[in-house]
């Protein structure tokens, strides 16, 4: 019987998380879940104005899902392959500068 309750709890949890995927505006607790950070960390980010948020009545905080997604995707790190491609391109451009073009 206990196992059945655990499975039901898991199903409810999954349904709740699916509901979050479709919401465009999130409350504070939902934003913590989406960002996978603690409430205290999110409070620090909002008070330092490091994350976009709304405070329509001066107390409760709300977040646009799209803005949170953009915030999560900031400071992208290039892969080794991308860095190598940039270096190869730069080297090719530098070589082109030093090759003398024939005069006509």
Which spans in the chain are helix H?
Answer: 2-22, 28-35, 39-47, 65-72, 80-98
Q: How many beta carbons lie within 10 A of that of residue 23, not counting itself?
A: 13
User: Alpha-carbon distance 35 to 100, whole Å?
Assistant: 55
Residue 101 has pLDDT above 80, yes or no: no
Q: Which tokens belong to 83?
A: 């860095």
| Per-residue pLDDT tens over the stretch 23-80 | 899 999 999 988 999 999 999 999 999 999 999 988 899 999 999 999 999 999 999 9
The answer to whether 57 touches 99, Cβ cutoff 8 Å, is: no
Q: Pick 22 or 74 by higher pLDDT.
A: 74
Say if residues 35 and 72 touch (Cβ distance below 8 Å). yes
Task: Pick the closest to residue 28 from 14, 46, 10, 13 (CA basis).
Answer: 46
Would you mind telling me the total number of residues written for the chain in this entry?
Answer: 104
Does position 100 have pLDDT exceeding 70, yes or no? no
- Is 95 a residue whose pLDDT tops 80? no
Confidence category of residue 103, pLDDT binned at 50, 70, 90: low
């Amino acid at each position: 019987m206990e196992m059945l309750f655990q499975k039901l709890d898991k199903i409810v949890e999954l349904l709740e998380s699916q509901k979050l995927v479709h919401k465009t505006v999130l409350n504070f607790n939902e934003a913590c879940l989406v960002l996978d950070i603690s409430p205290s960390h999110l409070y620090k980010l909002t008070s330092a104005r490091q994350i976009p948020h709304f405070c329509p009545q001066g107390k409760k905080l709300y977040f646009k899902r799209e803005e949170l997604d953009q915030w999560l995707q900031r400071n992208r790190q290039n892969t080794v392959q991308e860095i190598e491609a940039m270096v190869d391109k730069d080297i090719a451009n530098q070589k082109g500068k030093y090759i003398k073009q024939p005069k006509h």
